[in-house]
């Protein structure tokens, strides 16, 4: 990476403003998955070891639509972070203005302050210069460690960078290095796995990857559209009718590189206790049924293509993994990736639902890298440059 990182900066005695990604799932005020908080800890400890004057943390959470909403408060994150850092983390009820400035000024030497949700201000998502200037007043140097928002030009990542020396955190560096290396100089065979609901969400990714991979395995709801594009009846399965021509074009371009499911787990209702059966897709899906997961023969087929792979990138589940009746395909693919990792493959999970699926399968520690940013990793897979990265200081 040709951008400055925390290793290139001096933090001693400085007020360090850090953009983190604490957009964590909440059940009321209970954090149900602290992955993103844990991912920020190495950068924060690295900074704190250099004895800064203070560390001020900015993040968004959810979509509060530009105004304060207790449902999206970052307050529950402060004690969770304190437990992971092993030191007190104070919380400010605002991210700019007198409340934030007073809280920051009153911190003890080496103190840590978490600011309230940056998206409580409409100017955040508009990259408003005035809001960015108020944020920048809180620090002497800026560290962006929020890869999950790097694909967005917001006040708290891009705007602040125009006021302060801006460097990447360790997580940001790791995310970019893994994804960039996988795409620019992959060890081969290079296999990509794409799932999720819609082809239309990933057309650009598919087109970009077809030029780079040795095999592209397609599962999840998006496989339905490809199968129907081949003339296979899909019953009540989710199919994007307006993406059928695109799917046919991609099938023509992909040739043997593009691998589709050969069997499916189908259900007669979109619920966990639905009647299910496994059928070959070649004969079509019955009218009143839908495809909700890949079947065992597809897992076996995908396994043959994954066996011996040196680089694997996976984005999107293979079925409705949130329901145990339709999670088996996703979990078995996760296990195959863990097996290949043990045999020396570099395995990269592209955030979002794929990361949640790996977490659910209990295989997190058996994968080379799990991205914290679904949208950002997708845009990198497309070959796009990320505004939050561009804004960082060049080496």
Q: Write the DSSP symbol of residue 393.
A: P
CB 187 within 8 A of CB 254: no
Active site annotation includes 373: no
333 cis-preceded (ω within 30 degrees of 0): no
What's the N-to-C CA distance of the chain in angstroms? 9
**Listed residue (133, 122, 142, 134) closest to 64, CA to CA:** 122
Return phi, psi of residue 103, to 5°: -60, -40
Active site annotation includes 255: no
The kind and range of the H/E element at 277 are strand 276-280
Active site annotation includes 352: yes
How many CB atoms neighbour CB 140 within 10 A? 16
CA distance 62 to 59: 10
Active site annotation includes 375: yes
Contacts of residue 194, Cβ cutoff 8 Å, sequence gap at least 6: 202, 205, 206, 209, 216, 217, 218, 219, 220, 222, 314, 315, 316
Catalytic residue among 148, 196, 352, 373: 352
Catalytic residue among 284, 375, 383, 393: 375
CA distance 273 to 287: 19
Catalytic residue among 137, 198, 248, 297: 198
SS3 225: helix
Q: Write the DSSP symbol of residue 386.
A: P
Written as six digits, the tokens of 244 are: 């059928």
Q: Which residues are designated catalytic?
A: 36, 198, 352, 375
């Amino acid at each position: 990476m040709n951008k400055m990182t925390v290793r290139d900066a001096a933090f001693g005695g400085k007020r360090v403003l850090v953009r983190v990604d604490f957009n964590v799932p909440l059940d009321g005020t209970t954090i149900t998955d602290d992955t993103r908080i844990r991912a920020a800890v190495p950068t924060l400890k690295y900074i704190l070891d250099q004895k800064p004057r203070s560390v001020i943390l900015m993040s968004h959470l959810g979509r509060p639509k530009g105004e304060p909403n207790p449902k999206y408060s970052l307050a529950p994150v402060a004690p969770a972070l304190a437990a992971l850092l092993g030191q007190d983390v104070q919380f400010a009820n605002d991210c700019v203005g007198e409340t934030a400035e007073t809280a920051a000024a009153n911190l003890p030497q080496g103190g840590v302050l978490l600011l309230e949700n940056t998206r409580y201000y409409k100017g955040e998502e508009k990259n408003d210069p005035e809001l960015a200037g108020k944020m920048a007043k809180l620090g002497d140097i800026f560290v962006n460690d929020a890869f999950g928002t790097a694909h967005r030009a917001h006040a708290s990542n891009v705007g602040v960078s125009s006021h302060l020396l801006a460097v990447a955190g360790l997580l940001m560096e790791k995310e970019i290095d893994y994804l960039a290396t996988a795409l620019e100089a992959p060890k081969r065979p290079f296999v990509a796995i794409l799932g999720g609901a819609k082809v239309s969400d990933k057309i650009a990714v598919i087109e970009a990857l077809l030029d780079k991979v040795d095999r592209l395995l397609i599962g999840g709801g998006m496989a339905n559209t490809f199968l129907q594009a081949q003339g296979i009846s899909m019953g009540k399965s989710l199919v994007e009718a307006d993406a059928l021509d695109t799917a046919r074009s991609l099938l023509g371009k992909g040739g043997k590189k593009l691998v589709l499911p050969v069997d499916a787990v189908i259900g007669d209702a979109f619920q966990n206790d639905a009647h299910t059966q496994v059928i070959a897709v070649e004969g079509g899906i019955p009218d009143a049924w839908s495809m909700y997961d890949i079947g065992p023969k597809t897992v076996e087929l995908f396994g043959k293509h994954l066996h011996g792979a040196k680089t694997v990138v996976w984005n999107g589940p293979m079925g409705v993994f949130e329901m145990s009746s339709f999670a088996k395909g996703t979990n078995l693919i996760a296990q195959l990736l863990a097996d290949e990792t043990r045999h020396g493959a570099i395995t990269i999970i592209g955030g979002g639902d794929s990361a949640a699926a790996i977490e659910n399968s209990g295989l997190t520690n058996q994968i080379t890298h799990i991205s914290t940013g679904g949208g950002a990793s997708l845009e990198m897979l497309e070959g796009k440059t990320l505004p939050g990265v561009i804004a960082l200081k060049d080496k």
